[in-house]
Structure formats: structure tokens, C-alpha cells
Amino acid sequence: MTDHNDSSVLFGNGDELPSNSSDNPHINELIGQLSRRQVLTGTAAMGGLAFLGMALPQTALASGGTQTTQHLPKPRARLPFGAVPVGRPDEIVVPPGYRASPFIPWGTPITGRYPAFADDASNSARDQAEQTGMHHDGMHFFPIDGHRGGGRRSDHGLLVLNHEYIDAPLLHPNGPSVTDGKRTSAEEVRKEINAHGVSVVEVRRDVRGEWEVVPSPRNRRITAATPMRISGPARGHALLKTRYSPKGTATRGTQNNCANGFTPWGTYLTCEENWAGYFATRDSNLPRELARYGLGSTSRFGWDTLPGDEFERFDATRKGPSAIADYRNEPNHFGWIVEIDPFDPESVPVKRTALGRFAHEGLIFAPVKPGRPLVCYSGDDAQNEYLYKYVSRDRYWPGFSDGRLLDKGTLYVARFKADGSGEWLALDIDNRKFRQACKVAGVRFADQGEVLINTRLAADVVGATKMDRPEWGAVHPDSGDVYFTLTNNTARTVADAANPRVANAYGHIIRWREQSRDHAGTRFRWDIFLLAGPQSDSLDPKGRPLGADSILASPDGLWFDPDGRLWVQTDMSGSQLSSGPFGNNQMLVADPRSGEVKRFLVGPLGAEVTGITATPDFRTLFVNIQHPGEGSTASNLLSTWPDGPGRRPRSATVIITREDGRRIL
């Protein structure tokens, strides 16, 4: 997620307005109680490693100086690279022996007429619809032989990536045209709409070992205007009916696509994060499905200020006696997980409403065996929001299962307890405890569709635990333990012995282990894997302060490689990025076995490091660099990466390989 004050914001900043006024407990309160026993004594991580069944460091096993390891064989290094130092270069820095090459930057032609990127940003809206979008984010590599999942080709595949948002001052030659707070150019706004969404790009390694874009009918842009269908319990609901879709079964576009997911049957999932700011409403009394999601009277980019149906849909103000007279329900079409079949360019993307409506950061799947339910997790990326789990009603069968598994199931929200235990609370109108909680709270839902359209309110009602901006998640490929980044939350202003930082400006990583082997149960055990921050205010997985090779702040992206190493990407902003001890945003690698953490990559000026995937042979790593030179305008370039002096900064994918051609690690 991008949490910055960028100059593209025309009517307010890009952050979602805080909207959780419930009395539910905050995770910091629970961490505080846990800290009294563990964190402040430097044993939280080791205690967590023990309860998760992992090997403790030898220093933790020593007793009275009698334990010795001198006769034990030295284990093979799990992080065999030289740590990259903190710095503020306007380039990509990786360890010696590695190479990082920019690939498919914003504006790369991939479809149709293949219009070249114009250095002065003079490409048309139509051009942009056939080029990679702006601000690359989550992505996944699908081997070309992986149409039903499980492909193994490492030299040819589909790279599918999100485009979170746009910087209007760079997208247009001289910035956006605005008069009296209103947009004046339909062409400019269409270009902005087309710069959002998802790109499907066929890529191949050539005879020299270099990656290239393949001219292919599979190449495709999905934008904020692409027709889509709605499925699941909310399909056809009265709260989804609009002038465009009087039956509430169809919609247009996906936007603010941050992290992602991919299914066992070989489809891509893009996640709609801070979508609320794209809409405006002038109604004084907002229904809960708008108020609880932070809609305001002005929109982020002002698309709603232009005439015409394609723009008026971003104005949620009531204009008639019924929903199909206006777009009062249009915001309810966003905040969902969207499934895309990357192998079928004619397929219609599907919004899967059973997975809930909120600011989805991403979607990750637990390991699944044939004949067992499908389980996946998602975080709601806003201050004081929640963590969710979905369990399918039907069973997964390789080669036969498809997206319908994501239409019928139970959505749960997490409650973390101070004793290190946790439970999943069902958001299901047929669940007795949920109905009782609604009765106590005086909240009524007519049906399950309304529960899911109002997912945040339903989570408030059952007493979920408020979290510090849940972002990316990852599941350990061997243990099945679930990790999530909690990026930061500066709202807390009072420090105490249990919460030594006045506000959680640095963030942390939480993890849990489900008590049921198939992840489908309702009980788990949790601990803190890492507390981010400077050396003076942090804890690594061994319970020690982070060192010069590992300090970080605002952890965001997470990904496990095939050998169970956790890759962590950061999204710092403001003074933390410009003058703090952390340098530019970075990517680190953590080993849950040993607790070692090392910095692998430092990004260019002003950029967020986000999005990561690899080829099955783990010889190519793809990493996204978003908004280099954030805040730049055509006349004031704060970065010139990746094209060099005098050129506009462009978000891009970076291809990382070893110079000797071997596996990344």
C-alpha cells in the first residue's frame, strides 16, 4: 500500500479515512500484555519459536555455560550473500554477484497497435490502454504450461501485475487540467482510468538468457473501465443495483490494486485496496456501507466532476428515488477480490463477494490437500482494521476445482488474545453466535449479502481485534505458519511499560499457527516474529535488536521462497524515508530457522519496493519498484530511474539474477 502525500492527489490525500469507531480491543494492548512476559525481556521471539516447534538458537539452549557446539558441524548458510548497506542512491543496489535489470516500465507497449512510450507523456488514453499501467505492485509469474496450476516452465510464462494508482503530474505532459477544483479534460481522465488495473504480459527468456516481451494474443490490459461480473452471496443484491447494472450482477473496472494472490487452479487474484477515495458523495447522511468505508465529499482524482456516465459513476450522491436512477451503490462494487484467468484473454473478470468487502491488501492460500476445504487469508489495510480468513464450503480437487470454491464458504475475522491464543469469529448470518452478537449490538443484517457488503461492520459487531494496518501475508511452505506485516500505526499516543514506543511508527510482523492441520479450524496460537525499527528500538526473530544489516521500518510486502526464507519489502514515507536511519526503501531476507535477517536490495529515491515472484527454478526473481521519485512533476524530477538523466521516473519490474546463472539463494 502507498501511504504517502503525493502530488497527484488533487482533492485530499490518497489514504483511506479512518472509520473504525468500535470499542474492540487493539492489538497493541495485547502485545503490551505479551511484552510484560516476553518482549521487554528479549525472549518473545525465542518463546514463539519454541511454541511453533522450531529449533531455538544454541545460545538459548545453553545453561550455565555448560552447553557447547564446538563439535557440531557448521550448517550451510541460509543467507549466503553480502548484506547491502543502508543508502539513498537513485538506482537499484543488490549484493555482489547479482544483476538487477529494469523490465516493462510504465508505458511499455504490450497489445494491439503497440504504441511506443512517449518521453513527454503525450501518449493518448487509447495508447495507455495498450501499455503497461502506472505504479506496479503485486504480481505473479505463471509458467506457460500452468493453465490449470502446477506449471514448471521457467523460461516462458505470463507475468501478471497490478497497477495501484497514478501520479497525474507525470502521467500527462503538464499535469492534469483542473479549473475551480474540477477536471476539464475527459481524455486525461480516460488515460488515468486506463493506467489503473492489471497487465497480463507474456514473457520469455531468449537465447542469450535475457527476458523479453512476447507479442501474444494473451497480452491484455484490465483497467478501471473493464466490464466484470459479480458472483457469490452479494450477487444481485439491492445494494449493488445501479444505473449501469439494474440487476446488481455486473460492474465496470478494478482500481487501487495493491497486493495479489493466485489460485491452485492457475488464475490470478487482484485485490482492491484503498478504493473509497475514488468516489465522492454530497449526501449528508451516509448509509453504513459508505460511512464505515470512509467516503467523503470530494474524491482523490476528481473523476466524478466530469459529465457523462463513464465519469458520473464515481459520484455516489443520491439523484433519484431509486438506486437504478443514479450511482449511490457504485462504491459497493469495489473493495472485493477479482479473479482473472490470465490464459484466456476473452474471459470476463469476476468479483468474488464471499471473500468480503474491505481494503484488501492481498490474498494468500494455505496449503491444501485433495478432498479438504480451501483456506485463504486477507488483511484490511487501514489503521485499526482486521485480519480475515475464508474457508470454502466445498472440497478442493486438483484438475476439477475452479473459482466457484470462492463463492460458497465462511468468512471469519481474527480475535487475538493476550495469552498467545486466538480464535476465528464467523461472519455468517446462519451462525448462532454471530446472530447473538448482532442482537447485543443492535445491528441488523437482512441477509448474507448485506453482511459481506458491510464486512467491516460485521467484524466490529463480533469483537475482532484492531490491527496496525494489516498488509501482505505469506504462508511458510513447510510448517504452514501464517505471517502478516502490520506496517505501522501512529495513532497511539500514550506509552507505558508494555508499549515502550509512543506510537507504532515502525511496524512489526505477526505470525500464527492454526491448531487444525488443514487450517480450517477456529483456533490458533500467535506470537510476534519481528519488531521493526532502528537498532535502539527493535527486536529481531532471536529477540535481539536489529543490526546495521537488518534495520527496517514499515514492513509491507511478504513472500516465502521455495526453501522457506521470508522476503520482506518496506514502504516508508515522509521523514522516515528522507532523513531517518533506514535510507531508501528496501527488501530483506529473514530465515525463520536461525532468526538471521539481512538486507538484499535497496531501491531508488522515493520508491516503494513491492511485489515479488520467481520462476519455478528460482533462477529469476521479479521485484516491482513503485513510484520512484514520488512527488515529481515534469519540471521537478526527484528521481530519473530507470531511464536516466532528464527522463521521467517510471515504475518498473526489476529482473534479478545471479551472474553465475545459479539459483538466487
Average pLDDT of the residues in 622-636: 97
pLDDT at residue 498 is higher than 50: no
b (16+ CB within 10 A) / e for 601-611: bbbbbbbbbbb
Query: Angle at CA 229, nearest 5°, toward 226 and 234?
Result: 135
| 484 in Cβ contact with 475 (< 8 Å) | no
Q: For residue range 550-559, what is the model confidence (pLDDT) as tens digits?
A: 999 999 999 9
pLDDT at 66: 31
Angstrom CA distances, 136 to 92, 256, 609, 626, stand at 16, 11, 10, 6
pLDDT at 34: 53
Average pLDDT of the residues in 259-283: 97
**Three-class secondary structure of residue 388 per DSSP:** strand
CA 403 to chain centre: 20
pLDDT at residue 67 is higher than 50: no
User: How confident is the prediction for the chain on average, in pLDDT?
Assistant: 90
| 626 in Cβ contact with 137 (< 8 Å) | yes
pLDDT at residue 439 is higher than 70: yes
Cα 615 to Cα 622: distance, rounded to the nearest angstrom: 8
pLDDT at 58: 30
Average pLDDT of the residues in 434-447: 98
Q: Is 433 exposed, middle or buried (0-12, 13-18, 19+ CB in 10 A)?
A: exposed
pLDDT class of 18 with cuts at 50, 70, 90: low
pLDDT at residue 494 is higher than 80: no
pLDDT at residue 68 is higher than 70: no
Least confident of 52-56, 252-256, 302-306, 430-434: 52-56
Looking up cell 509512543, which residue turns up?
A: 502
Distant-in-sequence, close-in-space partners of 74: CB < 8 Å, separation ≥ 6: none
Least confident of 47-61, 373-387, 441-455: 47-61
Average pLDDT of the residues in 378-382: 96
pLDDT at residue 12 is higher than 50: no
Helix then strand then coil, in percent of the chain rounded to 5, is: 15, 30, 55
Cell of 425: 469469529
pLDDT at residue 412 is higher than 60: yes
pLDDT at residue 463 is higher than 90: yes
| 364 in Cβ contact with 474 (< 8 Å) | yes
pLDDT at residue 663 is higher than 50: yes
Angstrom CA distances, 401 to 149, 265, 572, stand at 11, 7, 39
Residues in the chain: 665
pLDDT at residue 599 is higher than 60: yes
pLDDT at residue 534 is higher than 70: yes
pLDDT at residue 14 is higher than 60: no
| 132 in Cβ contact with 651 (< 8 Å) | no
pLDDT at residue 11 is higher than 50: no
pLDDT class of 39 with cuts at 50, 70, 90: very low
Q: Is 7 exposed, middle or buried (0-12, 13-18, 19+ CB in 10 A)?
A: middle
Could you tell me which residue, 205 or 62, shows the higher pLDDT? Answer: 205
pLDDT at 476: 98
| 439 in Cβ contact with 343 (< 8 Å) | no
Q: Give the residue among 163, 112, 103, 172 at the shortest CA–CA distance from 133.
A: 163
| 28 in Cβ contact with 504 (< 8 Å) | yes
pLDDT class of 394 with cuts at 50, 70, 90: very high
Q: For residue range 109-138, what is the model confidence (pLDDT) as tens digits?
A: 999 778 899 999 999 999 999 999 999 999
pLDDT at residue 413 is higher than 70: yes
pLDDT at residue 385 is higher than 80: yes
Average pLDDT of the residues in 277-283: 97
Which residue type sits at 385?
E
